Amino acid sequence: MFTLIGILIVIIGFALRFNPLLVVTVAGVVTGIAAGLSVEKILTTFGEAFVKNRTLSIVFLTLPIIGILERHGLKEQAQKLISKIKTATTGRLLVIYLFIRELTAALGLTSMFGHAQTVRPLVAPMAEGASQNKYGKLPQSLRDKIKSYSAATDNVGLFFGEDIFIAFGAVLLMVGFFAQHGMQIEPLHIAIWGIPTAIAAFIIHATRLFVLDRQIQREMENKSAPENEVTGKE
């Protein structure tokens, strides 16, 4: 039962908001020691998991790198860059990202972008910066809405784009399902029929993003109206 101490360490560490990477690493080491493993065996286990498990690769490589870049002003530079483009709006920026995300996913490059490596450090700050450049400081509720739309854009682009890739797991699953029932269907045929759905998803979500631009404009205008009345401005 003592080997379960690692779970307790994770719970306490997350509750106290310690560095998640440090908490998980300490929990793993302590669990290994409690199980009677040698230091060499613990390090070997970490190494094997690192090689075999793609998720751990993201934790140990992508997230720390993104964290270091953010600490040195990655978000600020992204917002500064988008502020130089006068015609940029939150909706237009996210439509461009939606197109890129859906196209790359259709080519099988599903890990090329994502929430951790792209949306949080780049796309969301640039989307916020586009509106701040036009309307000034945004209320927290509006900033949260822009972040949620940024995350949703990545989800939509990935979900509907990857269905066009013939080697995608869901496509192969459908091929296998039909084969079990005596229907031989090529993966290419299923991928082709995913194109109309992907196009429809792009149009629908792009429309939502353009509506978002109008919502931001309306909310900021309503916010500035009471201030003008207080200061006596028309």
pLDDT digits (tens, 9 = 90+) for 2-27: 677 888 888 888 888 787 768 888 88
Contact 154, 119 (CB under 8 A): yes
Do residues 128 and 146 touch, judged by C-beta distance below 8 A? yes
Which amino acid does the sequence have at 102? E
Question: What's the pLDDT at 200?
Answer: 96
Q: Check residue 225 and give its pLDDT.
A: 62
User: What is the distance between the alpha carbons of residues 131 and 133, in angstroms, rounded to a whole number?
Assistant: 5
Q: Which residue type, as a one-letter code, is found at position 231?
A: T
pLDDT along the chain (234 residues), means of 10: 79 82 82 84 74 55 65 71 81 95 90 84 89 88 94 95 81 82 84 91 96 93 65 50
Residue 96's pLDDT is what? Answer: 95
Q: Which residues contact 109 (CB under 8 A, 6 or more apart)?
A: none
CB distance 221 to 138 below 8 Å: no
Which pLDDT score is estimated for 63? Answer: 62
Interatomic CA distance for residues 129 and 74, integer angstroms: 13
Chain segment 97-123, per-residue pLDDT in tens: 999 999 999 988 888 888 878 888 889
Question: How deeply is 214 buried, as exposed, middle or buried, from its count of CB atoms within 10 A (0-12, 13-18, 19+)?
Answer: exposed
Tokens 């028309």 identify what position? 234
pTM for the full predicted model? 0.67
pLDDT of residue 54: 54
